[in-house]
Amino acid sequence: MEIMEEQQNFLYEYTKFCLEQAQHGVDTLGTKLAGVMEISALLLLGLRVTSTFQIYVKPEQENLYFIYLSLKLSACVSLAIAIAFAVLGLYPRKVATTGLSPEVLMQKDGSLQVAITTTWMKQIEDLQAYKTERTAFLRKAMISLALGIAIASLATADAFMMAVSIGQ
């Protein structure tokens, strides 16, 4: 009987540890999603669809200027998509109703540890599924952010080329 109790205690402690780890993983992904959202929002605010040096564009550079505007607009769209993915990843999930109420626990005839451990196992499964969903949104948000940064860099290079050619 004592061996069975030790196994139950071990399983209870191990399940508690796994539940804490799963919750920590979900929380960490939330922090990363918030970071991607913040960076994207700051970059989006920093980008302007129009340029202040439009008045300096020579008629022969109009095509280059429209490419520049297109790149900036594309970067803004990409950053907005990154924000959307981050928001979707942070969207609250439905809470699983697998918890045992204190009233149910008081009525249990068997071991409370077994009942709690079984409940925690279900919660771990739910958290792992939620973590998988959040991970997919994080990947998509990061790809969109990277794409937005790359396009914004091209737009900046385009603007630099126009500015250099104005001086000539």
pLDDT-based confidence at 67, cuts 50/70/90? confident
pLDDT digits (tens, 9 = 90+) for 90-138: 988 775 555 666 666 666 656 777 778 888 888 899 999 999 999 999 9
Band of pLDDT at residue 50, cut at 50, 70 and 90: low
Quick one: which of 154, 151, 138, 159 has its CA closest to 78?
151
How far, in Å, CA of 40 to CA of 18, rounded? 33
What is the rounded CA–CA span in Å between residue 148 and residue 128?
30
Specify the 3-state DSSP secondary structure of 129: helix
Angle, alpha carbons 54-59-60 (nearest 5°): 115
| pLDDT confidence band for 41 (50 / 70 / 90) | very high
The pLDDT of residue 103 is 63
Q: What is the pLDDT of residue 84?
A: 96
Q: Categorize the per-residue pLDDT at 57 as very low, low, confident or very high, splitting at 50, 70 and 90.
A: low
For residue 89, the model assigns a pLDDT of 93
Residues 6+ apart with CB under 8 A from 147: 78
Those residues with Cβ within 8 angstroms of residue 54's Cβ, 6 or more apart along the chain or in another chain: 65
Segment 144-163, tens digit of pLDDT: 999 999 998 888 777 677 66
Give residue 112's pLDDT.
73
